[in-house]
Structure 1
Amino acid sequence: MLRKSYPYYLAGKPVAANADLEVLDKYTGECATRVAFADAATVRRAIAAAHDARPAMAAFPPDARRDVLERCVAAFRERSEELAQALCIEAGKPIRDARGEVARLVDTFRIAAGEATRIGGEVLNLEIAPRARGYRGMTRRVPIGACAFITPFNFPLNLVAHKVAPAIAAGCPFVLKPAPRTPVGALIIGEVLAQAGLPEGAFSILPCSNEDAGLLVEDERIALLSFTGSPLGWELKARAGRKKVTLELGGNAACVVDADPGAPLAHVIERLVFGAYYQSGQSCISVQRIYAHAAVYDALRDGLAAAVAALRMGDPRDERVFIGPMIDEAAAQRVEAWIADALARGARRLAGGPRQRQMLPAALLEDVPHDCDLYRQEAFGPVACLERFEDFDEALARVNDSDFGLQAGVFTGSLAHAFRAWDRLEVGGVIVGDVPSFRVDNMPYGGVKRSGLGREGVRYAIEDMTEPRLLVLAGAG
C-alpha cells in the first residue's frame, strides 16, 4: 500500500508543502495517495540550488559518487517490493513486470557506480608540425553543470534512473520533473538519495505543471535538458536556447521475420507477443509493425493470433495478468479509435475485443493500410499490425518508411541479411534474433528522425553530461 502522502524534494530535502496532486490507482480509478505539487517559485529555487551546487558536485570525488550510488543500490534492493507495489498501483503495471522494472532500477544504479570511477580522458600528440614540437596535450572530462530532467509515465523508475544515476556519476546537480500521473516512484528514489550522502543542494525532485516545467527548459543556468516523452520534445528543444538537449521521443517499432527466422517459430511468436503487448504496449520500443516472409506467414499469423487471444487481462496485482490498464481512459479510447479506423479502411482483426474503461484487450490486425494512424503514428497501446513480404530488401524498405527510427528487430538465420539490416535500417539500434523491445541498461539507446537525438545507456549519458577540458604543456619535450 502507498502512504497517505509524499513530499517533494527541494535542494535535497523533503518538503510537505501541500498534498495537491492526486495520484490514482490506474486499475480502480480511485485515489491511491496524494503528492506535494511544486509551484513556479519552488522550481526557481530548485534551479538556483542546482546551480549553486555545481562546485561541490564537481569537487565530489569519483569514489564518493560511487559510494553514493552503491548505497542507493542497497536501499533499492531492500525496498524492492515496496517499489514494485507502488509501480503496480500508480502505473497499472502488472506486478511481475513491476518487479522487473525494479530490477532494472537496481541495474542502472549499479552500472553507474562502476562508471563513476572510469570517467577519464586521453593524451594527445600535438606534434603535427614544427611549430608544435615539444608541446604535449591531454584532456579530461568535467561535469557539464546543472541538468534538468523530464520523464514520462510509462517507466517511472527506470527512465528516472537513466537520467539520475549518470548525473550522480558525472558530478552534475539536477532538477527532475517526474510525470504527474506516476510521481511516487521518483519520490521514493528521492527519499533514498536524501539519505545517501550527496552534497547539499545536489538534487530536487518536483512534480509540477508543464507550464512551470518550462522554467527548466528556458533558464540559462541549466546546462543540459534531457527529455523523454512525446514529440513535444522538439518544441522544448526550440525553446532551450544554448543548452545541450537530448531527446527520446518514441516510435512505431518494426520487426522483420525472415523466411529462415533463425529460431523456432514458437520462440519467435513468444518474443513478438512480449514485445508488442508487454506493459499493454506502453513502451517506446513496443513492437507495432510486424513484417513476415510469405514462407512463414500463415503459420506465424495463426500462432500469433492464438497467443494474443490467450493473454490474460485484469487487475495488475494478479500474478497471472499480462495485460493491465492503460494509463487512463483517454489513452485507451484513442487506440480503440485508431483500431476502428483501420478496420473501416480494410484491415482485418485477428485478435482483440471491446474496451472496458481504460482496459483494452490485446489486438492484432492484418494488412493495415499504410496511411492509417495505427500504422504511421506511435500507438502506445496493446496492438500490432501484421503483413507479409516476399523480398527481404522490400521488408527493410517498409521498416524505413516511417517518421520514427528508435529500434528495429530482425529474426533471420542469414548472417548476410543481419548485416544488411544493420547497414540499411534507419534506426538507433538493430536487434537481430529478438524484438526491438530488447534493452539492456548499459547499451546505447536512442533514435533518429522523429525519435529523438542523443543516447542513453549509462556511459553514453555520462558523455552528454560531461565535456572535455584540454590541458596543453609548452616545452614539455
Structure 2
Amino acid sequence: MSVEGTVGTAPAGLPNQRTARPPADGPVLLDAQGPRGPYRTNNRQDVTDVTGTVVAEMSLVPTLFADRAMKALHAARPLPAAERAAALARAAELFRTGTLGGLTVARYQELVSRVSGLPIRVVEQATTTCAERVAASYRSVQQARPAGAVADADDPLVRSAQAVWTRRGEVLAVHVPGNHPGTHGFWPEALAVGYRVAVRPSSREPFTAHRLVLALREAGFGADRVMLLPCSHETADSLVREADLAYGGDEVIRRYADDPRVLSLRPGRSKILLTAGVEWRDHLDMIVDSAVRHAGSGCVNVTGVLVEGDPAPLAGAIAERLAALPSLPPHDERACLPVQHAKSARALEKFVLDRAEGARAWLGGSGFADELGDGSAVLRPVVHQLDSALAPQLGAEVPFPCVWVAPWSRDDDIEPFQDTLVLTVVTAGDRDADLVEALLDEPTVSNLHIGSHATHWHRPGLPHDGYLGEFLMRSKTVVRR
C-alpha cells in the first residue's frame, strides 16, 4: 500500500506551526579575517535565509589581498605541539559557549538554522559535535600516524634511525561545503599537526566557518596561522594554487579532482543491506534513524536500502514512518526536516522526480516540496522502490530524507555497494562471513558497520572517509647522531 497524499500532515496532537520569528534588526556583517585582523570590504555578498530575507553581508576579499594573506601563512611558523593541543581545546570551548564576532552561541545557532534550513535542534546538536571534534583534533590526528613513525624529530628514538611523521606542506586551503555545521569538525586536525590554514567559507552558510576561525584565533593560533578568506570563484582558484594542499567539497575543489595536492570530499551514497533470514522489523528503527538524523542532510544518511528478498514490505514500512513527520519551519523545536527557499525546493523536486521515472513511489512520488507560505518549503521524505540493486538511482545524493529500496541477490555480489561512504550490513549469521569479508576488502567502501548500527554513527578518532592525516602527512626516515 502506498502512503501518497501525506504531504504537509503531522501526527495527531502535533499541529504544524508556521509562524516565523521576525528577523533581527539589520544584517550581520561578516568580516574577512586576514593576517592583520578583521577586514571589511565594500564588495560584499548577501547571505539569505530560506525565505529569501538577507540576514548577513559577507566581505569578499580581492585576489591581491588573498595572495598576500597566503604569503603570510607560508611565512608563519607552527606553534609548538603542546601549545597546539591546548589551543584546540580552548577553541572548542569558545566555539561551543562563547560570544564571538558579537554573536552569542544561541544567535549563531539561530542564524545557521535560518540560512541552512536545518532544524534548530540539529544545529544545536551539531554545535556540540563540532566542538567535541575540535577538542579531540590533536589526539584524533595521531590515530593516522603509522605505528613505526614518531611524531617529532626530537624523539630520542631518532638517534638510532627512525621514521618521522612529517607534513607534506605548510599551508592548507579549506573549501568546506555549507550543508551541515559538522563538516567543519575535521579540518582543524591540520592545525593540530602544524599547518597554517586558509578557510574559504560557504556562501550558503558562512557562520560556522566564521565562528570557528574566531575561536581558534582567540584560543592562541593567531592571525597569521588561520584565516577566513571569503572570495569569488576566481580568487578561490588562487587560494588552491598558492596553498601546498587543499581540502573540501565545493565546485572549486571538484575542478582539481585529479590533482594529488587536492583532497575532494565525495558524495556519501551510504547504504544498508539486510540479508536473507534477517527480520527487517527488528531493524526498522535503525533504518529510519539512518534516513532522518541530521534532517537527512548529511553524506552519512542512508541513500539506498537493499534487501535479499522482496523489498516491498520494508519500503512500505519506511514510507509509513517517514510520512508521519511534520512540516515545520526550521526554528520550531519540533522540526526534523530540512527547509529550502521554495524555488530551490521545486528545482530539487523536479530533479528527484525525473530521476525516479520507472520506480514505484511509496512516498513523495507526486511531489515533496511543501511550501510554508513565507517563501520557503519543507523537503518532505521520499521513498521509492527499484527493480534492481544496480539501478542508477542508488547513486543519487540529495540533502533530505530520500530512500531508494531495492532487491539484492547473491548474483549481484558486492558491485551495488561500491563507491559507498558508509555501509551497514545486517546478516543472519556465519553463512555471510565471506560476504562481510569481501565488503571489508572492497576499497571503495569507506566505512563498514556490521550489525544494526545507524549509518551516521561516528566518534572522534575514527576515520570518516579515511583519516585526514593520511593526506596531510608522510613518513620519512631520519638518522640523527
Aligned partner of 1:8 among 32, 36, 43: 32
Of the three residues 396, 404, 414, the one matched with 2:414 is: 396
More off after superposition, 271-280 vs 35-44: 271-280
1:128-173 per-residue CA deviation (whole Å, 9 max, x = no partner) reads xxxxxxx941132233311111111112x3222311x211210110
For the pair 1:440 / 2:454, whether they are aligned, the reply is: no
Please tell me whether the aligned partners of residues 268 and 300 of structure 2 are also in contact (alpha carbons under 8 angstroms): yes
| Alignment deviations for residues 363-407 of structure 1 (CA, whole Å, 9 cap, x no partner) | 111126778764444334432111233x3563633333xxx3322
* Residue 236 of structure 1 pairs with residue 243 of structure 2: no
| Identical positions, percent | 19
Match for 2:240 among 217, 231, 234?
A: 217
Counterpart residue number, 2:360: 348
Higher RCO (C-alpha under 8 Å, 6+ residues apart)? 2
1:246 to 263, 286, 302: 263
Given the alignment, which residue of 297, 313, 318 partners 2:332? 318
Match of 1:129 in 2: none
Map residues 401-440 of structure 1 onto 2, 5 A cutoff. Answer: 404-417=419-432, 420-424=435-439, 425=442, 426-432=444-450, 433-440=452-459
Structure 1 stretch 71-80 or stretch 416-425: which is displaced more? 416-425
Q: Secondary structure at the match of 1:250?
A: coil
1:443–1:246 CA distance, 2 compared to 1 (3 A)? same
Q: Distance in 1 between matches of 2:124 and 2:277?
A: 35
Distance 1:187 1:268 in 2: 40
Between the aligned partners of 1:266 and 1:95, the Cα distance in structure 2 is: 30
Match of 1:151 among 168, 173, 176: 176
Q: TM-score, normalised by structure 1?
A: 0.81
Matching residue's letter, 1:191? L
Deviation at 1:207, TM superposition (A): 1.7
1:90 is aligned, of 87, 102, 115, to 115
Q: Does 1:468 align with 2:481?
A: no
* AA partner of residue 365 (structure 1): H
Q: Deviations over 1:59-102 (max 9, x none)?
A: x2111001111111221231443443232122111111111211
Task: Tell me if the contact between 1:362 and 1:383 (Cα under 8 Å) persists in the aligned partners.
Answer: yes
Indicate if the aligned counterparts of 2:387 and 2:407 stay in contact, CA closer than 8 A.
no
Equivalent residue, structure 1, for 2:298: 283
Give the TM-score normalised by the residue count of structure 2.
0.80
1:138 aligns with 2:162: yes
Could you tell me how far 1:187 is from its partner in structure 2? 0.6
Q: 1:392 to 1:96 in 2, by over 3 A?
A: farther
Distance across 2 between alignment mates of 1:419 and 1:236: 37
Paired residues for 1:35-114 under 5 Å: 35-53=58-76, 56-57=77-78, 60-79=79-98, 80-114=105-139
Deviation of residue 422 (structure 1)? 4.5
- Aligned amino acid, residue 166 of structure 2: V
Residue ranges of structure 1 left out of the alignment (5+ in a row): 125-134, 447-454
One-letter code aligned to 1:286? N
Whole-Å separation in 2 of the counterparts to 1:250 and 1:315: 27
**Do the aligned partners of 1:368 and 1:385 also contact (CA within 8 Å) in 2?**
no
Aligned-pair Cα RMSD in Å? 3.0
Q: 2:12 maps to which residue? A: none
Partner in structure 2 of residue 128 of structure 1: none
Task: Specify the SS of the correspondent of 2:267.
Answer: coil
Structure 2: segments with no counterpart, 5+ residues? 1-22, 99-104, 150-158
Q: Secondary structure at the match of 2:248?
A: strand
The answer to whether the 8 Å contact 1:286/1:380 transfers is no
Distance 1:381 1:68 in 2: 35
Task: Please name the residue that 2:276 is paired with.
Answer: 259
Structure 1 residues 466 and 123, CA gap change in structure 2 (3 angstroms)? closer
SS of the residue 1:294 aligns to:
coil
1:193-250 per-residue CA deviation (whole Å, 9 max, x = no partner) reads 221112451111112122210012223xx211112246x6453144x5xx63222111
Flag the 1:49–1:387 CA change in 2: closer, same or farther, 3 A.
same
Distance 2:346 2:361 in 1: 17
Does the 8 Å CA contact 1:65/1:116 hold for their aligned counterparts?
no
